[in-house]
Amino acid sequence: MKPARLSRVEESGAVKCLACAHGCVVTEGRTGLCGVRRTVKGELQSMVYGLPASVALDPIEKKPLYHFFPGSTALSLGTFGCNFTCAFCQNYELSQARDIDEELSRLPFLDPEAVVQLALRQGASSIACTYNEPAVWAEYALDIAVQAREAGLRTVFVSNGFYSRELLDEALPLIDAYNIDLKSFSDDFYRRVCGGRLQPVLDAIRAIHEAGAWEEITSLIIPGLNDSEHELRAMAHFVASIDPAIPWHVSRFFPMYHMQDTPITPAASIERAVQVGHEEGLLHVYSGNLSVHDGSSNTVCPRCGATVVERQGYTVTARTGLTCPTCGTHIKGVDR
């Protein structure tokens, strides 16, 4: 274990975690809600520093990030633990794992420099902190980001955005791009289905944009929970109010974890969400988890409609940078 610097000892002697908006007070020998930040001898420790539970080379489009080095690859890693308890989690084997001391003892140690060297050997353009919530392993993720920048690599957070102000202050100067899950526009949904709150997520989305980092937003559309016309418009309107050029990814739900009995999102619901996003002023709305190749994952010039980046699934099949080949309009994003 390694000391978790995103913490403080209160006047009462209690140890408070500062990694996310829960602000857990962690008593001796216990962990916070995430299950991976434990108080030992009066000091908060990260149980997962240097111990990724999953490492893979992914297309950056899989994060999904469509306007950040399109067509590149990201060395992707995640640990155990999460500060949310989403009933629909797709990576619940990692995120909801608890009492993991034995599993951690079997994992090889991979320090930040080793992560960067692995990314370089595999030809990645970036390192993605993904698969589980980066906030719960923030010290490791941020140390990786420091090493990555020195090596000319970018760092990405794929995250629920439930951040503390202290984490934002450390992350914003170091993390180059974010994909933030906007799971709903209902605080009740966040509390009941995810074990969190809406407002800290909205605050983080605003703060990331104001800091000048690249961000894209993902919403998993779940039948009967967040797929109403009102809900879709509220999410799209909020994103557009920050910047109409922020890409919004609307993804199809498949039964998972504690929501095995919830039906798959109809394709028509995803198509409607895309339409609503455009009606609310968003320039780039993408559908996810659909098997059809109808051009809905292509990046299209908002001025003339020409295809700027063509995709088949997560694969970029044709691209002209982020400048329209027909009218010369620059598409907002980050490219080589």
Q: Does residue 294 have a pLDDT over 80?
A: no
Alpha-carbon distance of 214 to 246, in angstroms, equals 9
Lowest mean pLDDT among 48-52, 115-119, 162-166, 287-291: 287-291
pLDDT digits (tens, 9 = 90+) for 244-285: 999 999 999 999 999 999 999 999 999 999 999 999 999 999
327 annotated to bind ligand:
no
Q: Does residue 160 have a pLDDT over 70?
A: yes
Q: What is the pLDDT of residue 296?
A: 87
Q: What is the pLDDT of residue 320?
A: 77
Q: Does residue 27 have a pLDDT over 70?
A: yes
Contact call for residues 156 and 65 (beta carbons, < 8 A):
yes
Q: Does residue 234 have a pLDDT over 80?
A: yes
Which class does domain 54-319 fall in? alpha beta
The dihedrals phi and psi of 181, each to the nearest 5 degrees, come to -80, 120
Q: Does residue 13 have a pLDDT over 90?
A: no
Q: CA angle at residue 90 from 85 to 96, to 5 degrees?
A: 35
Which pLDDT band holds residue 162 (cuts at 50, 70, 90)? very high
Sort strands 37-40 and 25-26 into parallel, antiparallel or unpaired. Answer: unpaired
86 annotated to bind ligand:
yes
Alpha-carbon distance of 196 to 85, in angstroms, equals 8
Cα-based torsion angle of the residue sequence 194, 200, 201, 202 in order, rounded to the nearest 10 degrees: 130
Instruction: For the chain, give the secondary structure using H, E and C.
Output: CEECCCEEECCCCCEEECCECCCCEECECCECCCCCEEEECCEEEECCCCCCCEEEEEEHHHCCCCCECCCCEEEEEECCCCCCCCCCCCCHHHHCCCCCHHHHHCCCCCCHHHHHHHHHHCCCCEEEECCCCHHHHHHHHHHHHHHHHHCCCEEEEEECCCECHHHHHHHCCCCCEEEEECCCCCHHHHHHHHCCCCHHHHHHHHHHHHHCCEEEEEEEECCCCCCCHHHHHHHHHHHHHHCCCCCEEEEECCCECCECCCCCCCHHHHHHHHHHHHHCCCCCEEEECCCCCCCCCCEECCCCCCEEEEEECCEEEEEECEECCCCCCECCCECC
Which residues pair with residue 75 across a beta bridge?
57, 127
Which residues pair with residue 54 across a beta bridge?
78
To the nearest whole percent, how much of the chain has pLDDT over 70? 99
pLDDT digits (tens, 9 = 90+) for 130-147: 999 999 999 999 999 999
Q: Which two tokens stand for residue 189?
A: 């949904």
Q: What is the pLDDT of residue 115?
A: 98
Peptide bond into 3 cis (omega under 30): no
Instruction: For 98-110, give the secondary structure using H, E and C.
Output: CCCHHHHHCCCCC
What's the whole-number mean pLDDT along residues 30-58? 97
- As a whole number of Å, the end-to-end CA separation of the chain is 37
17 annotated to bind ligand:
no
pLDDT digits (tens, 9 = 90+) for 68-95: 999 999 999 999 999 999 999 999 999 9
CB neighbourhood size of 130 (10 A): 22
CA 16 to chain centre: 24
Q: Identity (one letter) of the amino acid at 191?
A: R
Q: What is the pLDDT of residue 293?
A: 67
CA 262 to chain centre: 24
What's the whole-number mean pLDDT along residues 184-196? 98
Quote the mean pLDDT of the chain: 96
Residue among 181, 184, 315, 306 at smallest CA distance from 249: 181
Segments making up each domain of the chain, as ranges: 2-46, 54-319
Q: Does residue 7 have a pLDDT over 70?
A: yes
What's the whole-number mean pLDDT along residues 19-35? 97
Give residues with Cβ within 8 angstroms of 292, minimum separation 6: 267
To the nearest whole percent, how much of the chain has pLDDT over 90? 94
Q: What is the pLDDT of residue 257?
A: 97
What's the whole-number mean pLDDT along residues 151-172? 98
Q: How many CA atoms lie within 13 Å of 138's alpha carbon, on the beta-carbon side?
A: 27
Which pLDDT band holds residue 6 (cuts at 50, 70, 90)? very high
Which pLDDT band holds residue 205 (cuts at 50, 70, 90)? very high
